């Protein structure tokens, strides 16, 4: 990993145990970086990302219903995805104007001028729901085999797979890590097109806050990016890494601890959190160069996390297939399928584009689904895809 870049920046900044938005101006560029993600103006917190928490809660409830064939249905989950017809058990979610679907493939950088692809991606997620509650549900009591959906055992767990061995709930959940979270964090809220939109810089420099709020628009956009990673209610807002491996997050933060626990990627959680804090402090100080340097760190780290998990599951699936542990193998490969799908939403700071193009992602997914899908896939294919995914990153398959 490229850790020295961040260390060099942090070494040149002022550290403090607390921070306030008071008494700062564009001329006062000395940063005060809080120990936790705590920023205030005139005694009131300026941090807000309730919309992101709402969407994470919606996602959790959707996922909880994905394999509940008694209480779930195609109509219910499609309504939950779009937040239509009051589908949630949590009544507060029904009252929200927000939805998960509206923010899938909806970033300013990648999709504002590409509405056709955005619609196709949203349709992919609809199709995962539809197939789960048609072909898979219809065969839920049958033992799956090549070319036929059904159930397959993984130890004491029962997995439900389609005719090619793919678990639709895993494709949906891991795909959302890229299609919703990475895209909104890396390509929307942390983009200059959003942070510096219209008169955001001038208002931030002048301390002009949004009507009825304690934050400037730029501060809020940054916090919204923060909320997609750290906004699950089980994560302490100010110190998320205190629950790195002990939280109920179902998407991106869930895997931050797993990757951080690999010695080859140790420190990625702290580095990412520090970059969010430093970038926020830089906004308070009007230091936009430092802000944008933190954006590059966050883009690289979150993109790396997605690639690491894609390769991890491809390699796990390969080894489990060799041991004829088909239930475990198909579960791993289903998770890998979703992480590969997410790669097209990554962001390489050096190119301004995904580390893996959408075309290559589609090619990898087609290789996995060729013929009878996971029933037929070879170790050579899994290794080849893993090597190609690792190539543009600063690690190897052996590091994962």
Q: Where are the domains of the chain?
A: 42-144+152-307
What is the pLDDT averaged over residues 358-375? 98
- Dump pLDDT digits (tens) for 82-112: 999 999 999 999 999 999 999 999 999 999 9
179-185-189 Cα angle (round to 5)? 120
- Dump pLDDT digits (tens) for 228-246: 999 999 999 889 999 999 9
- Dump pLDDT digits (tens) for 174-195: 999 999 999 999 999 999 999 9
Alpha-carbon distance values, 154 to 11, 130, 133, 303, 330 (Å): 48, 24, 21, 30, 9
- Dump pLDDT digits (tens) for 303-343: 999 999 999 999 999 999 999 999 999 999 999 999 999 99
Whether 279 and 218 have beta carbons less than 8 Å apart is answered as no
- Distance CA(37)–CA(220), nearest Å, equals 13
Whether 89 and 96 have beta carbons less than 8 Å apart is answered as no
Identify which of 223, 270, 287 has the alpha carbon closest to the alpha carbon of residue 32. Answer: 287
What is the pLDDT averaged over residues 4-27? 43
Coil, strand, or helix at residue 174? helix
- Distance CA(255)–CA(309), nearest Å, equals 8
- Name the range with the highest mean pLDDT among 22-26, 154-158, 224-228: 224-228
């Amino acid at each position: 990993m490229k850790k020295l870049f961040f260390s060099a920046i942090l070494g040149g900044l002022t550290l403090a145990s607390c921070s306030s938005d008071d008494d700062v101006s564009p001329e006062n560029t000395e940063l005060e970086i809080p120990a936790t993600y705590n920023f205030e103006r005139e005694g009131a917190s300026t941090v807000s990302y309730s919309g992101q928490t709402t969407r994470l809660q919606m996602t959790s409830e959707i996922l909880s219903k994905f394999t509940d064939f008694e209480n779930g249905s195609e109509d219910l989950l499609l309504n939950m995805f779009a937040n239509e017809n009051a589908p949630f058990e949590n009544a507060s979610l029904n009252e929200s104007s927000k939805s998960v679907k509206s923010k899938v493939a909806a970033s300013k950088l990648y999709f504002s001028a590409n509405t056709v692809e955005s619609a196709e991606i949203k349709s992919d997620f609809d199709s995962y729901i539809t197939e789960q509650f048609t072909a898979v549900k219809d065969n839920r009591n049958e033992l799956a085999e090549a070319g036929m959906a059904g159930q397959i055992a993984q130890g004491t767990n029962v997995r439900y797979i389609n005719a090619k061995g793919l678990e639709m709930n895993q494709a949906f959940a891991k795909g959302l890590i890229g299609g919703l979270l990475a895209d909104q964090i890396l390509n929307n809220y942390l983009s200059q097109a959003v942070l510096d939109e219209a008169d955001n810089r001038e208002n931030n420099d002048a301390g002009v806050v949004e009507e009825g709020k304690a934050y400037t628009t730029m501060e809020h956009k940054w916090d919204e990016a923060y909320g997609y990673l750290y906004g699950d209610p089980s994560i302490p807002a100010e110190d998320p890494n205190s629950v790195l491996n002990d939280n109920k997050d179902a998407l991106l933060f869930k895997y931050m601890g797993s990757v951080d626990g690999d010695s080859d990627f140790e420190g990625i959680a702290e580095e990412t959190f520090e970059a969010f804090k430093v970038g926020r402090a830089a906004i308070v100080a009007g230091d936009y160069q430092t802000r944008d340097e933190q954006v590059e760190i966050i883009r690289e780290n979150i993109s790396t996390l997605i690639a690491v998990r894609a390769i991890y599951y491809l390699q796990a699936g390969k080894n489990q297939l060799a041991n004829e542990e088909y239930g475990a193998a198909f579960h791993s490969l289903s998770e890998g399928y979703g992480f590969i799908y997410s790669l097209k939403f990554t962001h390489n700071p050096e190119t301004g584009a995904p580390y893996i193009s959408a075309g290559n992602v589609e090619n990898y997914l087609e290789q996995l689904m060729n013929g009878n899908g996971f029933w037929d896939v070879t170790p050579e294919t899994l290794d080849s895809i893993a090597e190609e995914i690792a190539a543009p990153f600063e690690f190897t398959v052996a590091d994962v």
